[in-house]
Amino acid sequence: MRITWLGHACFLLEGSKRILIDPFLTGNPLAPVKPGDVKTDLILVTHGHGDHLGDTVEIAKRNNAIVVCIHELSRILVKRDVEVLGMNIGGSAYSMGVKITMVPALHSADFEDESGEIVSSGSPVGFVVEMDGVKVYHTGDTGLFSDMKLIGELYEPDIMLVPIGDLYTMGIKEAVKAVEFVRPKVAIPMHYNTFPPIEKNPEDFKQEAEKFCRVVILKPGESYEYRP
């Protein structure tokens, strides 16, 4: 599986299918691509905040991609003529040979519509995605919670995409503990350096987290090839 970081919490997973997660490109100063450049079969959205939902509607329409997200957010997106697969925490969805399990995240969520009105978009979530026998855990925006141990035990993710930026999510100390809880083979830090309030040195995370797994630091636009 090829994993490309498109900045912030956005990753493109490429194997037998293409899976795009949290495509915040427009308005992201570090985004290495434009929404029109991205090709994908599925889009997974962890929650309704603008830095995660991002360009989902535009990319979904251009690619005829299916958007996988929590039920309440799927109801918002379906009104924007996007094909959705709404689900909820604890369950798994199967689409195009990919298994997608929705797991909890400790965060908040809302959605601001075109008129500026703020509406509920359901709970924020994380995803465990299994494609071609490789399992990737994208935590979404989250604080640390001890049930991450269960996620590690039940789904045994190979790769964990983990926020380190602090302020809105876990900082480095919490992210290191999260990796200790989940015990992936590889951890890739995300949700840092996009804006000044979440500036962090990923090497500080790497130094501590490498007690528990391999840490791969990507630059926006860089890819990592994972071979089981």
Alpha helices by DSSP H, listed for the chain, are: 50-53, 56-63, 71-78, 148-155, 172-182, 202-209
Q: Tell me whether residue 51 or residue 55 sits nearer to Mn ion (CB atom).
A: 51
Q: Tell me whether residue 141 or residue 174 sits nearer to Mn ion (CB atom).
A: 141
Question: What does the block give as tokens for 169?
Answer: 């999510």
The entry of Ni ion, Mn ion, none near residue 174 (CB within 5 to 8 angstroms by kind) is none
Q: How far is the CB of 66 from Ni ion (least distance, A)?
A: 22
Q: What is the dihedral of CA 52, 58, 63, 64, to 10 degrees?
A: 100
The entry of Mn ion, Ni ion, none near residue 55 (CB within 5 to 8 angstroms by kind) is none
Taking alpha carbons only, the member of 55, 56, 110, 119 closest to residue 85 is 56
DSSP string, 120-143: -----EEEEEEETTEEEEE--S--
Q: How far is the CB of 133 from Ni ion (least distance, A)?
A: 30
Q: Tell me whether residue 74 or residue 142 sits nearer to Ni ion (CB atom).
A: 142
Q: Tell me whether residue 40 or residue 46 sits nearer to Mn ion (CB atom).
A: 46
Signed CA dihedral, 182, 184, 186, 190: sign only: negative
Q: How far is the CB of 51 from Mn ion (least distance, A)?
A: 4
What does the alpha-carbon distance between residue 206 and residue 203 come to, in Å, rounded to a whole number?
A: 5
* 141 near Ni ion, judged by CB under 5 A: yes
* 49 near Ni ion, judged by CB under 5 A: yes
Q: How far is the CB of 46 from Mn ion (least distance, A)?
A: 8
- Residues binding Ni ion (CB under 5 A): 49, 141
